[in-house]
Homo-oligomer: A and B are copies of this chain.
Amino acid sequence: MGAAHLLDYLAALRYGRLNGVARPRVASARAAVVTVDADCGTAQLAFDHALGDLVERARASGVAVLAMYNSFSAGELGHYASRVADKGLIALACANSPALMAVYGARVAITGTNPLSCALPHPSGPRMFDQATSAAAWVTVRDAAMRGETIPDGWALDADGNPTSDARAALSGALLPFGGVKGANIALVVEMLAAVAGGSFSQDAAPFDSGTRSPRLGLFVTAIDPTAFDTSYAQRAEDHLSRLASEHDADFGRRKTPITEVEIPDDVYRALTTP
């Protein structure tokens, strides 16, 4: 879920904006569609309930979509894409978040940081990227604010809608998209897809870090079975990625060493482990 968000999840459970006893409900109105109501719980739990169905339908139909609604923030989006790619399917995942980003010249946040992830199946494990459509992740700006550091131009607006390099001012203002209007377009598509099954639009989503209401967000995962298009694709794709890496040192979705340890402050550790 992104270790940086651990405390957010714990606080959300305490204050009720995250349902710790959620019972996700999975449904399907068409052969290549799975919808899942996360019951205001974690997206990870709801995804676990629906993944098998998504994979089966993608293999049967060639492509299938899982659309979630009523979930807490999706957290690390690459988790979902990688789980699908582990099954030999190409995965595209996107999710929206409470409004944190100004786009198209708006002076306040009107959409989320709306991440996008893609994972390709690969013999050595999925080749995956996972990126916010904001120039910088919200937690990066929050960390800079806590350390009293400045942030680069182009990352954020202040509360008055003016560009700022003050991380604290950015937290009460709005983030900006990566890549200008092209990034903004992608952020909006992510939102329109993430909301397709009934998830909140970002402007309507309750915050994930305060209050008692669930953000009721959406998640949209497309699973594509390459063997439905060309049985030689897996080998062609593997060869192409190898060529890019060996001839140009260009590594798409470089496989990271799995993280097996996370450092957390002593007091947090005690609070988590004391019954």
Chain A positions within 8 Å of B, measured between CB atoms, are: 29-33, 35, 60-65, 67, 90, 92, 103-108, 110, 116, 118, 120, 129, 131, 178-180, 182-183, 185-186, 188-189, 192-193, 195-198, 201, 203, 222, 224-226, 228-230, 232-233, 236-237, 240, 243-244, 248-253
Contacts and interface: CB of A to CB of B under 8 A. Distances in A.
17 contacts: A30-B60, A31-B31, A31-B62, A33-B63, A35-B230, A62-B65, A67-B229, A104-B244, A110-B250, A185-B253, A186-B186, A188-B252, A192-B237, A195-B236, A195-B237, A196-B226, A222-B222
Contacts of A203: 240, 243
A240 B201 contact: yes
B193 A90 contact: yes
A185 B250 CA distance: 11
A112 to B, nearest CB: 13
Given A195-B236, A250-B110, A61 B33 contact: yes
A33 B228 contact: yes
A250 B30 CA distance: 34
B248 A196 contact: no
A61 B60 CA distance: 11
Contacts of A236: 195, 201
Given A35-B229, A67-B229, A233-B196, A248 B104 contact: yes
B251 A104 contact: yes
B32 A185 contact: no
A252 to B, nearest CB: 5
A189 B127 CA distance: 11
Contacts of A32: 31-32, 61-64
A222 B61 CA distance: 13
Nearest to A69: B230
A179 B185 contact: no
B33 A229 contact: yes
A107, A179, A198, A229: residue with the most chain B Cβ atoms closer than 10 Å:
A229
Contacts of A31: 31-32, 60-62
A193 B120 CA distance: 10
A179 B230 CA distance: 32
Contact of A183 (B30, B61, B179, B225): B179
B92 A30 contact: no
A31 B185 CA distance: 31
A192 to B, nearest CB: 6
A197 B237 CA distance: 11
B224 A196 contact: yes
